[in-house]
Homo-oligomer: A and B are copies of this chain.
Amino acid sequence: MTTVCWLDDLEMQAWRSLLSAHSRLMARLDAELQASQGMSVSDYGVLVQLSEAEEGRMRMSELADHLLLSPSGLTRRLDGLVGAGLVDRVRCPTDRRGAYAVLTATGRARLEEAAPDHVEQVRRHFVNRLSRRQLEALVDTLNKVASSPPCPGR
């Protein structure tokens, strides 16, 4: 019974390792941040992005781009955070279609509270398992993967 396999062993392994590593890693981080801080990694990500932005505020569309989320996805993710008082939605005064997401004081506090745990978890499950050289190589490798396609069609 010939199995369909036009990727050689190494290529196949690389592909499957990527799926497996990502899946396991995310599952662990989600579970642990949920357990230790009652916060999802996604919500944490929103708070981090905002905290790094000028004055803790960012336009919805820009934020969505940074988080690799669709506009609708972000809208609803913010609903939760707004409900929890961690983020405010502020209509943009100069362009009244647009809106800012702004980190509230409690939001910032909550982030600072959760950050040590999350960082420790990322270290334990990811960063600390790799050498500096491996981290460098990984960045390089993944950037090649993430970069725009050769665009033959466009």
Contact = CB atoms under 8 A, between A and B. Distances in A.
Interface of A: 1, 3-4, 6-7, 10-11, 13-15, 17-25, 28, 48, 51-52, 55-56, 68, 111-112, 115-116, 119, 122-127, 129-130, 132, 134-147, 149-150
How many copies the complex holds: the figure is 2
Main secondary structure of the interface of A (DSSP, over half): helix
Contacts of A139: 10, 13-14, 17
B22 A138 contact: no
Contact of A15 (B126, B140, B146): B126
Contact of A138 (B17, B112, B127): B17
A134 B141 contact: yes
A132 B141 CA distance: 11
